[in-house]
Structure 1
Amino acid sequence: MKTQVCIIGGGPSGLMLSQLLHLKGIDTVVLERQSREYVLGRIRAGVLEHGFAELMREAQCGERMDREGEIHDGFYIAHDGKLDRVDLKKYSGGSSVVVYGQTELTRDLYEARDRMGGKVIHNVEDVTLHDLKSDAPWVTYRDGDEIVRIDCDFVIGADGFHGVSRKSIPKDVLTEHEKVYPFGWLGVLSRTKPVNHELIYARHERGFALCSLRSQVLSRYYLQVPLTDRVEDWSDDAFWAELKKRLPEEVAAKLETGPSIEKSIAPLRSFVAEPMRYGNLFLAGDAAHIVPPTGARGLNSAASDIYYLYHGMMDHYLKGDDAGLDGYSAKALARVWKAQRFSWWMTTLLHTFPDSITYDQRLQDTDMDYLFSSERALGSLAENYVGLPF
């Protein structure tokens, strides 16, 4: 098999790049280790920055997002028993975010690939990358007893933190930076009316909480929990009781509870791998970087990678210009580290740290007071939340 770009990973990043390149006449093959049903069953973040929404539209996949997505011009931070609103539109210069579930976004991308006859191969095993430093890299995978070879010009590693792509870069080339946080997020999805029309981030002495939503009838809530907790430790009743304790009274009184559709605990970590290019292998998304979900930067950081790769590939194939590809790693990492800083700051501001001393707590209090006393501080938050320019 031969293609121009072989993309490892059939999540939103890989599918988005495949779709965008297809529209420019650039041939791709996407390899995905899991089944389509498995990929569409993963529950992930649903806050899309302005630039990501524009990419969806450019990929001709934004119709349902624009029809069903929730446009949010702001969000709330609950602290000290009160609610303060961050007006994104006002402080970012007119931008908003779109709340649209990643599962639905991925479904839209799959359907677009189907319509256009895109090649997405699922349930592949033993994916191996070869001759990445040459002008003719190739990829193999196992299909039953058969080893299939794909010859290509470029390989895109969009196969997540545990994928094969980053592991294919020699250890003496790759530098990895990691920070593991001493807590996780317990998330519950429920078929209930959201407690508020915009997100509520709550800082509380008992721990962080987040009130989010997927639609007007589907809510997503989170609690900060110790890493030692297990999902089995939390009944639905215990979750709702604890959530109410961490919210202001007027919010807790409106909270509609119900059976959980999905419940999981995700540890929080920050991670960056440098460089994001090795020969003709380019890393994108979680294969190269992970952020805590506090600042809603994970999927959105992947979108900026795809934006740079898309334009770099276009320039290569349509103009014979390799400047975009040659500068990809440095440009992508510059934005990645800004997303890392913002996510770290949001996490530090809003969570309770088990080893914190009174000095740390007073700094958190001061940071929160400063945020809502300074329009410039609110402007910095809003600018990062809606998404820095690509």
Structure 2
Amino acid sequence: MTKAYSRAVTALFCLFLGGLLVWHVLLPDRDRSEVENRTLAQKPEFSWAALKDGSYTAAVEEYFADQFPLRDEWTGLKARAEQLIGKHLFNGVYLCGDTLISKVDAPSDGLEEKNLGYVAQLADKTEAPVYLGLIPSAAEIWSDLLPRGAENFDQAAYLDRAAELGLPMVDFLGALEAHAGEPVFYRTDHHWTTLGAFYGANAVLEAMGKEPLSREDFTPETVTEDFNGTLYSTSGVHWLTPDTMEFWVEDAGLEITSWRTGAPEPGVLYDRSYLEQKDKYSAFLGGNQPLCVIRNEAAAGQGKLLLIRDSYSDALAPFLAQRFEEVHLLDARYYRAPASAYAADNGIDAVAVVYSVPNFITDRNLVLLGQ
């Protein structure tokens, strides 16, 4: 290799880096990445104190990483290159053929035991019966799809541990395992599909002694065939066929009230505006909110159900509303008052703590259930 060649390569490399820097400076900063479904870091304000404690340089590094030109394309290229060298795990997501499955890490801080204790405290404080329903993720139901030797938390064993509380359990594991050969989870998202939520709803109804729903009573409506979910965003694996999303429940006869802003306002069973956005799963009930109530006049006298829940219940609740006069959805991440007091004040007949296992073992807001 001659000196002239080395200098030419060095010059080209410096020109490349300089060009990227100029490109970055000239491009307007983006507020949000639709592909990653998250807010992007903005240019940090300089201060000597921040420079001294290192927070400024860390913020600058995050800013440049988030605002890097063609970031979404580079992320996908990186994942494709890693696949070519035989990698199966991409940012905590396993690539299993045409399906993405989120890795579930074994808890190490004891929070999984504390959260079971908080549920037990809620049952002690609440006159209505409290059911515990923990939804195993695709990593458990579709464990046969995982790469050989893949690390994966034993969710079934944890469900056995949860049953030792002595509370009535909702058998989501059995309901989903019985239909594991069907598309009960999305391939690019961590949530269950509407079909999976249907089977989950019947598991809840069976646990509570209510008549199960019949699949023939619903006419699925395909509302999009272009759903790329959270695992698509997290993994960088952007070459899989998008998911199809369906709505099954008619909204006629259902009254939805949302406390999204802290005060009651009319809500919707399905917010179709989200179907034009990246976060299409939020079309179910309009996404995250502290409190939502679904009333069904046709089920008058069938009781009031309180779901203390995560986002899985957004797809679950429309089905449960067919068998209850009222379904109340309380999200402990945003609703800060005691759940036991809410149940008493609203004449709740049954309470169900419904969480996916990965969320339940990591959620630090469930301490509020013990209040």
TM-score of the superposed pair, with normalisation by structure 1: 0.22
Structure number with the higher strand fraction is 1
User: Which structure is larger by alpha-carbon Rg, 1 or 2?
Assistant: 2
